[in-house]
Structure 1
Amino acid sequence: MFVDPLCSECWALEPIIKKLQLEYGQFFSLKHVLSSSLTRLNVNSKKMDALAQLWEKTASKTGMPCDGSLWFENSITAPYITSIAIKAAELQGRRAGIRFLRKIQEVLFLEKQNVTNIDVLVKCANSINLDTEEFLNDIHSESAAKAFQCDLKILSEMEVDEFPSLVFFNENIEDEGLKITGFYEYSVYVQILQEMLGAKTKPNPLPPLEIFLKIYKVAPSKEIAIVYDMTIADVEKKLKKWVLQQKVKAIHGKHGTYWKYIEKEE
């Protein structure tokens, strides 16, 4: 999966990826290849306006909350540092890197925080229980910089210049991969997966919604609706009851509501 951490359309693909992993995760492994789009390396007011409009368009089109006003309220500089930070997190394990990427997207798109700010990055690392001292050292290390350079090399070699993009490979590494750019209905990805497997496979049962929220901690209404094949109205009706039961906290944003799981004290 080729992803730019600051790309609103990459964020919009997240529910599809989650559902695919939950239902068919035993049939594939997912590798994230990061970009920091070169058009963003020098962000000026004209580009900020274009990016703000793109975020608003993504929110309207997909229903995933992201508020374009962030580009005017926060000084987003040197976006590549966010990608290097994700590579630094990956040095503590592949899963740690994936958790950190998700956290970055949450604080950026849901909480409108500046994820190019080192203090915000450290808070993200701390919140997912990374070793923050090691993380800080790794951000400034040659290892993280080299890992990011490696990703940029893969981007170039595979001629990926749009985000998100997914490239499916089968077991035979000699075979060419199948590249899908942008995002489509969930059924399209399932069909590709089944064609590559050469068989129709039954999806795994989804975990109960409360378990899903316990695992991921935070989820927008739209994400839950996609994963569980529900309408947003049904999601919000159900979770409003859970607010009263103090299972979740509702946080309302410009483009929809997201829900934060309330951890019970042992």
Structure 2
Amino acid sequence: MNWDQTGLRSENSTNTSENYDYLKFNPKPIEMYVFIDPFCPECWYFEPYFKKLSMEYGRFFTIRPIVSSSLNRETLCKPIKSMDYWKKITRQLDTELNEGSEKAISSPWRVSLAIKAAEIQGMKAGRAFLRKIQEYLFLRKDDISKEDILMNIAKEAKLDMEEFSEDLYSATAKKAIQCDLQLTHEMEIEDTPTIVFFNHSTDAQGIKISGLYPYEVYEFILQETLQTIPIPSEKPPLEELLKKYDVVGTKEISIIYDWPISKAEKEMKKLQFKQKVNRMSSKRGTFWKYLD
């Protein structure tokens, strides 16, 4: 695989019928490798941009989420550059996952295993589980490394609990973590969130973008990777969004619908008056929980 950190240029990015020809035969030509750390606040802040990109252009891409956690809590969200560091955490990971007992597995790896165990039930289930993990960590301030908390999260994410319990420390989940770690190293991922865009319908190099940027940057890179300018899909009604994601922030709504914060707040208060949502206040802003 090749990728280019600076490749924001293409020979042809116009919206022509010729450019759309290959889309007829490759409806989802783009693969996005999304490197995330469940403990990293920047990955949580990236979520509304990810939701909006999926709503407007999800018909063009598939997502491959890669869990890219550091081994120790104090090193999370920091650049990982040293080859010796990679050798060290690989050895420790092998020891913990293959030789140690389940209780001996350190907190970040247990959380990562849980995410991979959820993904065994499908990428949709994995995404729902990850969102719940971030919600528990950043809104509720719970210790997501505890097994009973992870089980509660799995239940709220509507996973098959028996299957999740069996997969949590399974060889399949462990192998998935080791594969994620290898990809993180091979693609020289130094920070999270990082996205690598690949177009498998062309010979062009991939494009890697690390950190948080305005939504328009992600949109532009997707267009460059597609080598065309697609028409964005219509976004769903607000209540459908809430029903799908369960908990959504006022700022998220503002970003997704291109509304001022004041309008997003006003629309949510209307739904609150109709007893469709509950308001949740936190240091990270106002969030709304949909009431079934």
Q: Same fold (TM over 0.5)?
A: yes
Tell me by how many angstroms 1:158 deviates: 0.6
Identity %: 48
Deviations 1:137-158 (A, max 9, x none): 2111111111101100000111
Following TM superposition, by how much is the alpha carbon of 1:38 offset from its aligned partner in structure 2, in angstroms? 2.9
SS in 2 for 1:169: strand
What's 1:92 paired with? 121
Select between 193-202 and 83-92 the one with higher mean Cα deviation: 193-202
Partners of 2:71 and 2:108 within 8 A in 1? no
User: Take 1:131 and 1:238, find their aligned partners in 2: how far apart are those partners?
Assistant: 34
Distance 1:178 1:137, change over 3 A: same
Summarize the Cα distance change of 1:32–1:116 in structure 2 as closer, same or farther, 3 Å threshold.
same
Matched, 1:177 2:206: yes
Q: Which residue of structure 2 aligns with residue 238 of structure 1?
A: 267
Distance (whole Å) between structure 2 residues aligned to residue 248 and residue 183 of structure 1:
29
Distance 1:78 1:196 in 2: 37
> 1:80 maps to what in 2?
109
Does 1:193 find its partner at 2:222?
Answer: yes
Shift of 1:255: 2.7
1:148 aligns with 2:177: yes
The alpha-carbon deviation at position 173 of structure 1 amounts to 7.3
Q: Is structure 2 residue 37 aligned with structure 1 residue 37? A: no
Q: In structure 2, how many angstroms separate the alpha carbons of the residues matched to 1:212 and 1:131?
A: 23
| Aligned counterparts of 1:210 and 1:168: Cα–Cα separation in 2 | 31
2:14 counterpart of 1:14: no
Cα offset for 1:175?
4.1
Aligned-partner residue type, residue 240 of structure 1? K
- Separation (CA, whole Å) in 1 of partners of 2:185 and 2:238: 40
Write the distance in 2 (CA, Å) between the matches of 1:141 and 1:83: 12
Match among 218, 227, 248 for residue 219 of structure 1: 248
Q: Could you tell me how far apart the structure 2 residues matched to 1:190 and 1:255 are?
A: 25
Secondary structure at the residue paired with 2:233? Answer: coil
**Which of 165, 170, 190 is the equivalent residue of 2:194?**
165
Check 1:189–1:132 CA distance in 2 against 1; reply closer, same or farther (3 A cut). same
Matched residue pairs, number?
232
Quote the offset at 1:117 in angstroms: 0.8
C-alpha deviation, 1:7, in angstroms: 0.6
**Aligned equivalents of 1:242, 1:131: Cα separation in 2:** 31
Aligned letter for 2:65? H
Distance, in Å, in 2 between the alignment partners of 1:142 and 1:112 is 30
Secondary structure (helix, strand or coil) at the match of 1:79 reads helix
How large is the RMSD of aligned CA atoms in angstroms?
1.8
TM-score normalized by the length of structure 2: 0.76
In structure 1, distance between residues paired with 2:195 and 2:124: 19
Gap runs ≥5 in structure 1: 52-76
What is the deviation of 1:32?
0.3
Which residue in the other structure is 1:127 paired with?
156
CA 1:158–1:91 in 2, change beyond 3 Å: closer, same or farther? Answer: same
In structure 2, give the amino acid aligned to 1:112. Answer: K
From 222, 234, 257, the counterpart of 2:286: 257
What residue is the counterpart of 2:138 in the other structure? 109
Q: Give CA-to-partner distance per residue, 1:113-139, whole Å, 9 cap, x none.
A: 111111111011111221112211211
SS in 1 for 2:264: helix
